[in-house]
Structure formats: C-alpha cells, structure tokens
Amino acid sequence: MSSDTSRNQLPEIESSVPGTASLALAGRLARVESRNVTFRSPDSPIFWTRAAGSNVWDADGNRYVDLTAGFGVAAVGHAHPRVLRAVRDQAARLQHGMGDVHPPEVKVRLLEALADRAPYSDPRIVLGVTGSEAVEIALKTACLSTGKPGALAFRGAYHGLGYGALGVTDRALFRAPFETQLNPHTVWAEYPDPYRPSERLLEAAARGGYSPGMAARDMEPGRLVDAALELAAELLDSEAGERVGAVIVEPVQGRGGEIVPPPGFLTGLLDLCRERGLLLICDEIFTGFGRTGSWFGSEAEGVIPDILCVGKALTGGMPISACIGSADIMDAWPDSTGEAMHTTTFLGHPIACAAALAAIRVIEEEGLVERAHLAGQRWREELLDMAQHYPVVGDVRGRGLMIGLDLVADPETRQPDPDLAGRVLVEALRRGWILLTGGPHGNVLSLTPPLNIDNGLLSGAVDMLDEVFTDLESD
Ligand code: PMP
C-alpha cells in the first residue's frame, strides 16, 4: 500500500471549532431543515467542504482527521484518485440510466464484480441505494423464500431506519413513535456482548451451570455464546418463532458499539437456521469490504450466510448497496413480467456503479483487507496501552479497523458514561479529530477510519486521546 502523505496530514485548526462559517451555516440550516435531522449545539457540527484521504476540511478552512471514514464509507479514503477518475469519467458519459428497464451498461460490470467476490457459486444480486434498503430486500427475499413474515433480530442491532429495516433495529428512540407500524413478527434475541452481557443472558448462563454469583466478566466466552444460542433457539421454537423465516445479524455490531461476539456465535446461528429451515441474513453493511480485516465479517468464522447485505464501503463515497444470495434463494423472486417487484428510480445508478468498481479494485490492489487486519491489531494494542492509565476506559474492543472504547462511570459496575463520551468527542473535534459515539447508551467512542490511513495518524489519535483523558481527569 502506498502511503500518500498529502492525504494523511495531521490536523490543522485555525479557528474556534466550530468556527464562524460553520456556526453561520448551522443557523441557516436550522431555518430550512426539519429540526430532528442535524444535531446542533455550541460544539457541533462543523460543515464539511472538502475531503481527501483521511483528511476533511471544514467551512472555516480547518483540517481534520476523519476517524469515522464518513460513517464507514470512505474505506479507501475520501476521494481516492481512482474512484474520483471513475466518477468523473462516468459522469461525463452517463449520469443516470433506467435501472430495471434499460439498464446502464456499468450495472452489469458491477454485478459481475460483486458476483465474482461473493461466497456463492451461482450468486444473484439486487442493488439498492441505502443500507436500509439492502436489508429490506433481504427481508423481502426471506419472506418470499420461506413464506414466513417474521425475523429473529438481536438486542442492540442496527439495520437502518426504513420501516422494514426499523422493524429489526433495536433502538427505542427510533422505534417508539412508529411501534404500531413496525413488523409485529420480529422476535428479539440477546447478542453475546462479552463486556456487558444482558440480565437475560446471565440468567440463561446460570441455568447452564454458570454461577450467578460470579462477576459477569468472569464468564467464559464459550458459555456466553451457548447461552445466547440457547435463548435464540427457545425463541425460534416458541409460538412466535413459528412465524419467523430468517435470522438477521451483524457479524460485529457496529452502531451497537463495536461489539464482537465470541467465536462460535455465527456458526451456532447458522446451525440453528439449518436445523429449522430458516435463512441466515448477515448484515455486512458496516463490516463488509475489509473493515474487520476480512473481505466479509462472517468469514472470520468461516460462515457463509444465505443472504449478505452490503453498502457503505462498497463505493468509497457514492450511495449504493446490495443484497446478495445464491440463485436458489434469490430465485424466490419470480421472473419479471415487466414490473420489478422491488426497484427504485436510481437502481444501479451509473456513477455509483463506476465508483464501486473502482473502490473494489483499490481495496484489492492496495491490499486493504490485510491492512485493516494488521493496522487494526497494532492500533488496538496501542489504544489498550493508553487505556490502562484511565479506568474510565472500561473496554477496548473491535476487529480490524472497527474499534470501540467503552467509557464507564465506574469500572467495577461498568455503568456507561455517555456524558464523558460526549466530552471526549468535543475535545477531540477541537483538536482536529473527528469521531463518533455509539452503543445503545452513547458511551462508546467509535473508531472506523479509512483502511489506508497512515500509521502515524493512528498513533497520533492515541496521543490525542491520551491528552484528552488527562485533561478531562484534571477538570
Ligand atoms: N446496517 C448496518 C450494520 C449499519 O451500520 C447501517 C448504517 N449505519 C445500516 C444497516 C443502514 O444503512 P443506511 O444508513 O445506509 O440506510
């Protein structure tokens, strides 16, 4: 991998953060955008005007390092030269086609490229625009294939906010007002979160011989997985489970707080599905395309799900997603009779297809999957070393370049500390580092930088966090 220093520069902050230009834009935005969309405070947001590699510039001319890769999209870095060239060339030739009627030629090439990389001998693909849509195509496929309307989803799951995807997303804030409109056939299982296992999981583990007096942290990972699988099996075998046709799971929970299930979980889920004739849907929208150090997150356990959902990193920066499965599953969709049962105006958008083709090549040719694995390992160790000095960092976890720092008010009880996470976020931004908070409590610092970010910047991020934690400690 070539490291381009001009696209991997340390931050340069020349104004207050946010500066006057960003503050003015925030004021203008508030007058035209619905108030729920962009969170505004005296500390946020900054308005992006330009990005290259791991760097982002704001309206005040400040340069930042993007430790989020723009929600995990810019895996190849922002505006990678090859992606940029592909976008420019495609835009000059054909900007928009008729996706499911008279498709753009480049759609064929993208589907072939995805098919070549999918873990199926005879794959079939439906393209979407957003991650949420890819999930909904998967859920529709499962319904058509099994004839069953429900899915088993996991606590802490994030699959998107369209009505279908929201039906399997576990966030009270997003669901509550719309609860009566969401799929009533979803059943909820426990994700084996090794750091903060749920009460239900602990109870299930107790039934299996684990002593409830034991601290949760002492539970063997294998026992946690067994307990999670037992609970999932109970649900599937219950009356509500009769209406369930699919299990949908993130190989590593992303917005749920970078939660890595112990080994054996995905294989166990696949077994549960096989025994009952259910489909396993892996939502790889965050974990796919190298993020976790393998091409797909499910590969880490050698699991081939029935259906794969991908998005985000697929293009390096254009909106496109895909639902991929083998022909025997995907052929649950009937032949088109002239009206596609699932399509959108922008299906197979040519510029996004061209960007995806370029991004896939960059990931391969720059060895970014391996790079995510190695850089992630090294970075996690550095972060762990730093975290040892700060008991408020309860856990450093993740896989590849998908890392979470779980901030706690008390390391004994592991009580989440979202306020602290928010303060770290603000202090990091002031120093020129963009991060996000995640997890159901909002207490996890979520780090998902471009896969080709410079090692120097990764170490710089650790130094920055070290400084921020020290400063906050002395406050
Ligand atoms: N699934 C997962 C695992 C995600 O992380 C996300 C987005 N964070 C989605 C689905 C939804 O994707 P989108 O926001 O593009 O609809």
Each residue of 427-447: pLDDT tens digit? 999 999 999 999 999 999 999
Relative to the CA of 132, which ligand 1 atom is closest? 16
pLDDT digits (tens, 9 = 90+) for 19-70: 999 999 999 999 999 999 999 999 999 999 999 999 999 999 999 999 999 9
Structure tokens at 370: 């391996």
Task: Return d(Cα 268, Cα 284) in angstroms, integer.
Answer: 18
365: nearest Cα among 279, 290, 278: 290
Q: With bands split at pLDDT 50, 70 and 90, how would you rate the model's confidence at 2?
A: very low
286: nearest Cα among 142, 83, 129, 132: 132
Sign of CA dihedral 366, 371, 372, 375: negative
Judge if the beta carbon of residue 160 lies within 6 A of ligand 1: yes
What is the reported pLDDT for 205? 87
Q: Can you tell me the mean pLDDT for 359-377?
A: 98
Task: Return d(Cα 450, Cα 79) in angstroms, integer.
Answer: 11
pLDDT digits (tens, 9 = 90+) for 305-356: 999 999 999 999 999 999 999 999 999 999 999 999 999 999 999 999 999 9
pLDDT digits (tens, 9 = 90+) for 75-134: 999 999 999 999 999 999 999 999 999 999 999 999 999 999 999 999 999 999 999 999
Question: Is the predicted pLDDT of residue 237 greater than 90, yes or no?
Answer: yes
169: nearest Cα among 223, 114, 218, 131: 131
Relative to the CA of 71, which ligand 1 atom is closest? 8
Burial-class residue 49 by CB neighbours within 10 Å (0-12, 13-18, 19+).
middle
DSSP 3-state of 324: strand
CA nearest ligand 1 atom 7, residue: 160
State the distance from the centre of ligand 1 to the C-alpha of 273, rounded, in angstroms.
23
Question: Could you report how far apart the first and last alpha carbons of the chain are, in Å?
Answer: 42
Question: Is the predicted pLDDT of residue 3 greater than 90, yes or no?
Answer: no
Residue type, 24: A
Judge if the beta carbon of residue 191 lies within 6 A of ligand 1: no
Lowest mean pLDDT among 3-17, 105-119, 149-163, 402-416: 3-17
Residue 260 φ/ψ region, left for φ over 0, alpha for ψ in the -120 to 50 degree band, beta for the rest: beta
DSSP 3-state of 66: strand
CA nearest ligand 1 atom 5, residue: 286
User: Hey, which of 158, 171, 191, 260 would you mutate to test ligand 1's pocket, going by the most ligand atoms within 8 Å of its Cβ?
Assistant: 158
Contact predicate 56/66, CB 8 Å: yes
Task: Return d(Cα 281, Cα 285) in angstroms, integer.
Answer: 11
- Which pTM does this prediction carry? 0.97
Relative to the CA of 160, which ligand 1 atom is closest? 11
* Residue whose pair of structure tokens reads 């975290």 in the numeric block: 387
Task: Return d(Cα 133, Cα 140) in angstroms, integer.
Answer: 10
What is the reported pLDDT for 267? 98
Judge if the beta carbon of residue 73 lies within 6 A of ligand 1: no
State the distance from the centre of ligand 1 to the C-alpha of 174, rounded, in angstroms.
14
